Amino acid sequence: MRVLLASPRGFCAGVNMAIESLELAIRVFGVPLYVYHEIVHNRHVVESFCRKGVVFVEAVAQVPEGATLLFSAHGVSPEIRQNADRRHIRTIDATCPLVIKVHREAIRFSREGYSIVLVGHEGHDEVVGTMGEAPHAMHLVETEEDVDRLEFPAGAKIACLTQTTLSVDDADRIVRRLKTRFPQLVAPSRGDICYATQNRQEAVRALSPEADVVIVLGSQNSSNSRRLQELAAQCGVPAYLVDSVADLQPDWLRNNHTVLVTAGASAPESVVRQCVDHLRNRYNATVEIRSICDEQVHFPLPRGLPAVQL
């Protein structure tokens, strides 16, 4: 077996920042410490923080008054922040700066009187947060068919934003359809799909043709991980999204296979390592690291966290 280990893969700068923020917050404020929704969409990461005493909540009402609450990398709507303030909860905002950028664009477009078409997945934490910045102006679309159903008055000002973790190809198709239907559409000069999503997709696109099977490490509720699996499948290669090596099925793999291994932006490197070690031990695999670009992106820790060395 030959393993192609895709690079870049795994944790992005936003996920690193959110996890470091939570580790530091535990040291500074102690536990129980509350996190609004999953810190990142990965079962291993969430379970490891649960073991340390972190409590993940679905509503601000679940957080006791005066406690500490961390907002995850996906961001929250202003309503959630206001609810936390009303309950005198100390908040730490670990929203990824690239998600904050989309929130700011939503605020700006809505102030300037635009109707905003948000391309994204209904119910995803990031989409809920972004829509909450300008709820009266927002129209969510997931498909080209959704675009066809949109109706705006003649001459309406229309802007477009996207979720940061979409398929680049799907988003391109949807935005093209939007521009065909609404030629006056404006969009941020550089799209909203983040560098990490684009790079991981680009690596899968470049390397899948060499592979017999693609293994994506990541959780089922991780948008960017699912997009990697879909992209590999669109390249004509059987592709599987697994949380860990324990989910690998022997009948997916053969000794003479070339296996492309990658990981979504919320999947820790430890699960990649375990997977590669398993392929080495079980199939005598040789491993080639295949890098399509170098990532040097780091985000500062959020305000509200004292400067304590981890």
- The least distance separating ligand SF4 from the CB of residue 227, rounded to whole angstroms, comes to 11
Residue nearer to ligand SF4 on the CB measure, 5 or 13 = 13
Q: In the set 99, 207, 214, 260, which binds ligand SF4 (CB under 6 A)?
A: 99
The full DSSP string for the chain is -EEEEEES-S--HHHHHHHHHHHHHHHHH-SSEEEES-SSS-HHHHHHHHHTTEEEESSGGGSPTT-EEEE-TT---HHHHHHHHHTT-EEEE---HHHHHHHHHHHHHHHTT-EEEEES-TT-HHHHHHHTTSTTTEEEE-SHHHHHH----TT--EEEEE-TTS-HHHHHHHHHHHHHH-TT-B--SS-SS-HHHHHHHHHHHHHGGG-SEEEEES-TT-HHHHHHHHHHHHTT--EEEESSGGG--GGG--TT-EEEEEE-TTS-HHHHHHHHHHHHHHH--EEEEEES-------PPPTTS-----
Catalytic residue flag (residue 126): yes
Find out whether 4 and 261 touch, Cβ atoms under 8 Å: yes
Q: In the set 4, 46, 73, 94, which binds ligand SF4 (CB under 6 A)?
A: 73
- The least distance separating ligand SF4 from the CB of residue 134, rounded to whole angstroms, comes to 19
Residue 15 in the binding site for ligand SF4 (CB under 6 A): yes
- The least distance separating ligand SF4 from the CB of residue 126, rounded to whole angstroms, comes to 7
Residue nearer to ligand SF4 on the CB measure, 7 or 197 = 197
- The least distance separating ligand SF4 from the CB of residue 102, rounded to whole angstroms, comes to 8
Residue whose C-alpha is closest to residue 305's, from 11, 59, 55, 20: 20
- The least distance separating ligand SF4 from the CB of residue 251, rounded to whole angstroms, comes to 32
Q: In the set 8, 10, 14, 218, which binds ligand SF4 (CB under 6 A)?
A: 14
Residue 165 in the binding site for ligand SF4 (CB under 6 A): yes
- Point out which span in 8-16, 26-34, 127-135, 142-150 binds ligand SF4 (CB under 6 A): 8-16
Residue nearer to ligand SF4 on the CB measure, 17 or 285 = 17
Tokens of 216: 């994506």
Q: In the set 3, 96, 245, 305, which binds ligand SF4 (CB under 6 A)?
A: 96
Residue closest to ligand SF4 when measured from CB atoms: 14
Find out whether 248 and 201 touch, Cβ atoms under 8 Å: no
β-strand partners of 138: 116
Residue 178 in the binding site for ligand SF4 (CB under 6 A): no
- The least distance separating ligand SF4 from the CB of residue 74, rounded to whole angstroms, comes to 7
Interaction pattern, residues 212-251, with ligand SF4; x per rule: CB under 6 A: ------------x---------------------------
Q: Of these residues, 38, 105, 126, 230, which one is catalytic?
A: 126
Residue 203 in the binding site for ligand SF4 (CB under 6 A): no
Tokens of 98: 């690239």
Residues with a known catalytic role: 126
User: Which residues would be at the binding site for ligand SF4 (CB under 6 A)?
Assistant: 12-15, 73, 96, 98-99, 164-165, 194, 196-197, 224, 265
